[in-house]
Copies of this chain bind each other. A is one copy, B any other.
Amino acid sequence: MASKVSVQTSPSSYPSLTKLKMTPMPCSFEVDSFAKSAHSGVFHLLPLGLRVQNKLEALIDKHMESIGASKLSLSSITTEALWRQSGRYSANSELLRINDRRESGFLLSPTHEEEITSLVSGMVQSYKDLPLRLYQIGRKYRDERRPRQGLLRAKEFLMKDLYTFDYSQEHALKTYEQVRQAYNNIFNELKIPYLVADADSGNMGGKLSHEYHFISPKGEDNVWSCNSCSYIANEELVEKRVDEVPTSDPLVFEGISTDRTTKIIIAVPRPTSQEKIQNLTWDNISSFVNLHAAKKAAPDLDTGIETSTLTSLLPKTTQTTHITDRRLSSPQQSPNIDLTPTLPSSPCPRCPSGKLHVQKAIEVAHTFHLGTRYSTPLNALIAVPDSSEKRALQMGCHGIGISRLIGATASLLSTDKGLNWPKVIAPFEVVVVTPPSLSPSTSASTSTSTSSLSSTTSSSSTPSDAERIYDTLTSINIAADTILDDRADKGLGWKLKDADLIGYPVVVVLGRGWRESGVVEVQCRGLGVREEVEGRDVGGFVRGVLGRL
């Protein structure tokens, strides 16, 4: 009988969801009803969490469709041989290797550029088959040095990855803009504020790249933006307007190359506020030197080394390189290198009056124009118009961190009452909360609300309790994604608190008002709504509230 009750709204999940659900702890996504840590950096997704994930997948599917992308499902297994061919094997220290009986060199894929390029190159021969846009939503693996913050940085995580294929850079850049627009549409539907930052493409290859960020104190990225114009960039790419005042008393740091042969001496202008200059070791160099800029000037600079190791290695170096901020050197020496870090209130590089400020952010998506970074080494060539020679495919790759986005959303939108899901990815849009006396396994055979149920179309002349709830839901006709909390062993107050903790966007309460006069209370924390509504008007009212979310 309980299953008949549930069929009305959320047929599958209710009875067992209830059973798996622990009392959730607000603001601590991983230990509540949605996901559970199994091992360090490894999570199981519980039924409510899987529903959130499925909603997010459906949202992404819709916008991938809008740009003509087809969904497929690549294996999680790839091979060392393929990654050697692309040149990424040795550079990636986070690859997880699988031991099998044949020593096949199997790896768990952290990303799928190699596999998709290999797949497409075997199936597409001509520009006539392009553009081609293929995506998947699946698990990826990374030997995370320090798994932390739950779903934000795990060893196994879910990604949406889209790969695009064009035959010319011009077409590829148009594709890139279409993907960016689709990404904007996805994030706009989520209704969570986000920043899009110019980004460096790291070891993905290519040159054009953007990051999508949620602003959050939990974030591990720094996003810089101007308080006056639309300039936004991440830590690696942020520029600033540089004052031209030279200084004759530089700060000097000694670093080392990754191969340990070369001492790298870095000189920057001394900051005007002297009080900060204490303990000038390598460990706090980033307060004085923009290491991203230093690394651009000296690509073999080891930026990750610790002072103690550095001190023991420096005496053994046999060569010396200097990198010097442009204000300390003649233009011939190191033209235009600004080695000082961007500081809060630095002048904006793009507008005359703006100042830059920095925010902690969580990167949730990334777009890359790859060009021929993978198609050339993997020999993915196609016939092109107006040429007898085949040409390498122009590619793009575009990721959304599914599990990270879910974790970030849970953490960002939670309040002291509990989680607070955006409508579009909430596990259910609406929860209907009943007192135990309306619940299926209670022994109360009649209730004062029977009269208001008699107008339903139930064919049974003596409806069971379960049938009465089913009929109640039918009579209030909530045409939305609804779950019914009809647990018989919990009181109304407990259930309302639980609904807040789980973070359903809309709560419909069949409380005393329903028994006495057929009115229900509709609550929406996001909009500050708490209103009594006639039973027959509930459907329209709830749809109105959902429409404003």
Contact = CB atoms under 8 A, between A and B. Distances in A.
Interface of A: 2-3, 11-13, 15-17, 19-20, 22, 36, 38-40, 42-47, 49-50, 53, 61, 64-66, 68-79, 96-102, 104, 106, 108, 115, 118-119, 122-124, 128-130, 132-134, 139, 143, 145, 155-156, 489
Given A96-B98, A108-B98, A132-B19, A75 B12 contact: no
Interface-central residue, A72, A79, A97, A130, by most chain B CB under 10 Å: A72
A473 B435 CA distance: 50
B65 A12 contact: yes
A12 B70 contact: yes
B74 A44 contact: yes
B98 A129 contact: no
Contact of A129 (B19, B49, B50): B19
Nearest to A136: B50
24 contacts: A13-B70, A15-B68, A15-B70, A17-B70, A19-B129, A38-B74, A38-B75, A38-B115, A38-B118, A39-B104, A40-B104, A42-B75, A43-B75, A44-B74, A44-B75, A44-B119, A47-B72, A47-B134, A50-B71, A50-B72, A53-B73, A75-B156, A77-B155, A128-B489
A104 B45 CA distance: 21
List of 7 A-B pairs having minimum Cβ-Cβ separation, nearest first = A16-B70, A12-B65, A45-B73, A47-B70, A97-B99, A19-B129, A42-B75
Contact of A16 (B50, B68, B98, B102): B68
Contact of A143 (B40, B43, B100): B100
A124 B22 CA distance: 9
Nearest to A134: B16
B123 A79 contact: no
Contacts of A49: 72-73
A2 B97 CA distance: 43
Specify the main secondary structure of chain A where it touches its partner.
Answer: mixed
Given A115-B38, A489-B128, A72 B45 contact: yes
A145 B22 CA distance: 42
Interface-central residue, A13, A20, A38, A70, by most chain B CB under 10 Å: A70
Nearest to A53: B73
Nearest to A165: B19
Contacts of A128: 489
Given A36-B119, A39-B79, A98-B98, A16 B132 contact: yes
Contacts of A118: 38
A143 B61 CA distance: 33
Interface-central residue, A97, A106, A115, A155, by most chain B CB under 10 Å: A106
A270 to B, nearest CB: 40
B72 A44 contact: yes
A113 to B, nearest CB: 14
A72 B78 CA distance: 26
A1 to B, nearest CB: 11
Contacts of A96: 98-100, 106
B65 A11 contact: yes
Given A3-B66, A100-B155, A101-B145, 12 more contacts: A12-B64, A13-B71, A20-B134, A38-B75, A38-B118, A39-B78, A40-B102, A44-B72, A44-B115, A50-B71, A76-B139, A98-B99
Contacts of A19: 124, 129-130, 132
A123 B22 contact: yes
Nearest to A489: B128
Contact of A123 (B20, B71, B98, B123): B20
A154 to B, nearest CB: 9
Contacts of A39: 75, 77-79, 104, 106
Given A20-B132, A38-B75, A76-B76, A68 B3 contact: yes
B133 A16 contact: yes
A377 B50 CA distance: 29
A427 to B, nearest CB: 12
A67 to B, nearest CB: 9
A108 B109 CA distance: 13
Nearest to A74: B44
Nearest to A45: B73
Given A39-B79, A128-B489, A155-B77, A71 B47 contact: yes
A25 to B, nearest CB: 14
A45 B134 CA distance: 12
A167 to B, nearest CB: 13
Contacts of A68: 2-3, 12, 15-16
Contacts of A72: 20, 44-47, 49-50
Contacts of A129: 19
Contacts of A66: 3
A38 B99 contact: no
A17 B99 CA distance: 35
Nearest to A81: B39
Contacts of A47: 70-72, 134
A124 B46 CA distance: 14
A260 B104 CA distance: 31
